[in-house]
Structures are given as C-alpha cells and as structure tokens.
Amino acid sequence: MTRLLRITLLSLLFIAGVLTALIYSLTWRPDDKQILPVSCVAPRAPTLLPGQALKVMTWNVQYLAGKNYVFWYDTADGSGPDDLPTVEDMAFSLDEVARVIRDEQPDILLLQELDEGAKSSHYQDQVALLQERLVDLYPCSAQAFDWKADFVPSLHIFGSVGRKLVTLSRYQIEHAERLQLPVSPANFISRQFQPKPALLLTYLPLSDGGQLAVLNTRLDGDVPGRTAVQEQVKATVKLLDKFEGRGTPWLIGGDFNLLPLGQFLRLDAGKRGQYSPDSELHLLWDKYPMIPSNSESSGIDRKKWLTHFPNDPRVDGPDRTLDYLFYSPRIKRVEAKVRQEDTLRISNHLPVIARFLLPAAQ
C-alpha cells in the first residue's frame, strides 16, 4: 500500500509538473519594465519644437471588429452570441479607421486594442495593416502587448490572443518602454492567461534638448473587486508625479474604463455593476487636467463628450465616457472634441482629439 501511495503521489507530481510547464510555455510573463524597439525613419521625422502646437488623438479601435456584433464579453453574464467578427467586417473597419485618421491627421496617435496573431481577429497583424495605409503620415512608432498567450482555454477563445497598445508619431521617438501595471487578483493558473495592462511610454525629443513623455494605456475593465483598478491608477499617478518633479512635460491618453464625475447615477442600474460610485479616476483628475473635463462630460452638453457606444442592441448610441487625455499643467489646451458624427459604426469607442501648445523654451 505504501508503495502504491508513493507511485500515486509521484504520478500526480509528474502530471502537475507537466501541466505547469505547459501553461508556462503557452503564456507570457513580461518584466515590470521592458525597453521596446522604436521604428523611426529619421530623415522624414522632424524634432518637436518648444512652444509648438501638437494635435493628439486617442482611440480604442476594438481590434477592428466593428459594430455588427454582441460579443460574449459584452454581456454581464458572458452570454453574448458572437465570438469573433468576419474578415469582411474587419476590412471595412480598417478602411474606416484609416479614413478618420487621415482626415484628422493628428501629430501623435494613441491606439488601443490592435491585434497581432489572435484567433479572434483571424491572426491578422493589424498594426502592419494599418501602417500600410498611413506610411506617409507616421514615420515613427512603438508598440507593446497588454494581452498575449499562445492558447487560452476559454470556450469563447480556445486559441491565441495578442492585443497591443500602439503609438504612432509624425515626430521623432527616441526611446520607448513598456511599464507593467498591477494585475487583477486571480488564482495562479488564471493569472497566467489574463490580460496584463501596461503603460506604453515613449519619449519624443525637443529641439532644445528636453523631452516630451507620451503615455498610452488601457486599464482593466469589469474586474472582480476594484483593488486592481485603483492600484493601476495609483501607479500611473506616481509616474506622472515623477515627470512633474523633473520638469518633463507629459501627456497620457487611452481607454481608462472609468467614469467621470456625475455619470455613475446617469447610467441604468443594470450597467453600473462594473463601476464604482466614487470613480477611481479622481486620483488623476484631482491633480491633473483632463479631456473631457468633468464639467464637459457631466454638463449640459455632456452628450458631445460620450466616448463609449456599447455593443448592446438595447442601446442606440454612446452612453458613457471612458476615454480620456490627461496632460501636464505645463502644457496648454487649445481645443478638444470627441469625434462622434461619422465614427459610431467603427468601434465601440470613439476617438478623443485635442490640440495643445507645448511649453516654451526656458
């Protein structure tokens, strides 16, 4: 009996070891800080000038899936009927995203949810596909994964994932980093497969020897508890405080998945579950200017500043604000808008666009 027990235990240990090795081989564990390659065609990329105007756009393009679906993750109980878009719908969305970008021609473009090698997007390299259409506008770029695995055993995925943050720039980028944010609590196995939210940090040189720090992010949405989200915001604020302390001008944009002041109670009760009544985003807006501001996103013209149009057939238009630009007080806001009029069928998020003036030379 003792020998049988020993054999059984050894067999179980062997199986556990094999499963652990398999999970590790299929998943991705990035370092807290990674230096990233920068793609920059220097002769075509000018250097930023102190005091110049700068147009910035942030947009979550929802892996070019479009608005013809209710995906499994779009419903609170995971019962959405769709798992992936068609290639034809993705081609339409790609052309539409390129059209809007070409029309706006921002100097810096912050994109979230572009896929590479993911089953749900037919294994496309969406960054390459988009860059082919914008090659004359953006000589410089940097990109970072915030979700990656060769195989996710979810019935709705059951294959690879690869989702990216991408920053495109008309101006030189001299350095890029991926900074890991705190992840949502989960057991050991689940943690290996879950998204790993991050900051994509790029430094753009200024002609006077200084730098502009540009950050791109997508924070966790609809996570159990709110601890991880709060820690992600705290980590972001801590980094921005460092830039302020050094005198480095900065701006950050992305899909924060958090509501502004006053929108929680305006949502239908059934849609409030993934948000806190006291938005964790206050840690940012308490210290730094935000686009849209709270007065804009909750004021009389608040409909103009809504950025999220849920994939829900019961909703006929944007109903909340989740996407923002924050910027250093050293930078001056000139104008801003959410482009709504011709973007409602492209993604479940709408682009936020702003024009700034960089600090003058000291």
Q: Which domain holds residue 106?
A: 32-357
Query: What are the residue ranges of helices labelled H in the chain?
Result: 2-26, 87-104, 126-134, 188-193, 227-246, 282-285, 294-297
| Angle 168-282-195 from CA coordinates, rounded to 5° | 50
Taking only the tens place, the pLDDT of each residue in 113-149 is: 999 999 999 999 999 999 999 999 999 999 999 999 9
Please state, rounded to an integer, the average pLDDT across all residues of the chain: 93
Q: Would the pLDDT of 344 be above 60?
A: yes
Claim to verify: residue 13 and residue 53 sit in the same structural domain: no
CA-atom Rg of the chain in angstroms: 21
Question: Which amino acid is residue 254, in one-letter code?
Answer: G
Claim to verify: residue 104 and residue 4 sit in the same structural domain: no
pLDDT at res. 25: 66
Q: Burial letters for 338-358: b for 16+ Cβ neighbours within 10 Å, e otherwise?
A: bbbeebeebbbbbbbbbbbeb
What is the band of 223 on the pLDDT scale with cuts at 50, 70, 90?
Answer: low
Mean pLDDT of 182-200: 87
Give me the percent of the chain exceeding a pLDDT of 90.
80
Least confident range of 9-23, 172-186, 190-204, 305-319: 9-23
Is 351 within a domain?
Answer: yes
Claim to verify: residue 1 and residue 106 sit in the same structural domain: no
User: Among positive and negative, which fits the CA dihedral 310, 335, 283, 192?
Assistant: positive
What is the band of 107 on the pLDDT scale with cuts at 50, 70, 90?
Answer: very high
Is 362 within a domain?
Answer: no
Claim to verify: residue 8 and residue 146 sit in the same structural domain: no
Q: What is the CATH number of the domain that holds 181?
A: 3.60.10.10
Claim to verify: residue 195 and residue 327 sit in the same structural domain: yes
Q: Burial letters for 235-256: b for 16+ Cβ neighbours within 10 Å, e otherwise?
A: bbbebbeebbeeebbbbbbbbb
What is the band of 67 on the pLDDT scale with cuts at 50, 70, 90?
Answer: very high
Claim to verify: residue 42 and residue 131 sit in the same structural domain: yes
Claim to verify: residue 219 and residue 93 sit in the same structural domain: yes
Taking only the tens place, the pLDDT of each residue in 28-38 is: 889 999 999 99
| Number of domains composing the chain | 2
Taking only the tens place, the pLDDT of each residue in 276-322 is: 999 999 999 999 999 999 999 999 999 999 999 999 888 999 999 99
What is the band of 42 on the pLDDT scale with cuts at 50, 70, 90?
Answer: low
Q: Would the pLDDT of 357 be above 60?
A: yes
